[in-house]
Amino acid sequence: MLKEFKEFALKGNIMDMAIGVIIGGAFQKIVTSLVNDLIMPAIAIFTGKVDFSDLVLTVGNSSIKYGSFITTVVDFFIIAFSIFIAIRWIQKINDKAKENLEKSNLLKHIEKEEEAEKEEPTTKVCPYCFSEINIQATRCPHCTSILEEEKEIVEENN
């Protein structure tokens, strides 16, 4: 069981996910600081309220902290937008790489076709048994038929 857990924990996908979670946590701290230290004070300039987290609606003994909720929603939208931009950027890079790979493969394919066109054929197909034979053969080694094209050439030379 310990061996299975070790194999599971050390798989590439699990390690990638762990790294992503750690980086995501650090990124979340940066965004929270951006919202709390820059964006919310800038909004407070226009609204006259310095700290949104202090906005509370008290009903009886219950407190509804809607200012803290507003700050969290702003955090969420900034994180979502940042991820959107990052994914869009990565997608453009992947599309460019795929396009370059396709161009490279197309060029290789064209070069192979050009090479194939330059090479003279070394074999032909027997019209009687459809076997592949040497291009210079006058008789098929498989069905022993005399090939018509060569038969005409031989008769013309005699």
> What pLDDT does 154 receive?
47
Q: Which residues of 76-113 are buried (b: 16+ CB within 10 A; e: fewer)?
A: eebbeeeeeeeeeeeeeeeeeeeeeeeeeeeeeeeeee
Mean pLDDT of 91-120: 81
The structural domain count of the chain equals 2
C-alpha dist (Å) from residue 59 to 44, 56, 72: 25, 10, 22
Q: Are residues 56 and 75 in the same domain?
A: yes
Q: Are residues 79 and 129 in the same domain?
A: no
Mean pLDDT of 94-104: 86
Q: Are residues 107 and 125 in the same domain?
A: no
Q: Are residues 92 and 153 in the same domain?
A: no
Q: Are residues 145 and 83 in the same domain?
A: no
pLDDT in tens, 3-54: 877 777 676 677 778 888 888 888 888 888 887 788 777 877 877 765 677 7
Q: Are residues 23 and 86 in the same domain?
A: yes
Residue 138 lies in domain: 121-158
Q: Are residues 104 and 28 in the same domain?
A: yes
pTM to 2 decimal places: 0.46
Q: Are residues 115 and 129 in the same domain?
A: no
Q: Are residues 58 and 114 in the same domain?
A: yes
Q: Are residues 81 and 155 in the same domain?
A: no
Q: Are residues 97 and 70 in the same domain?
A: yes
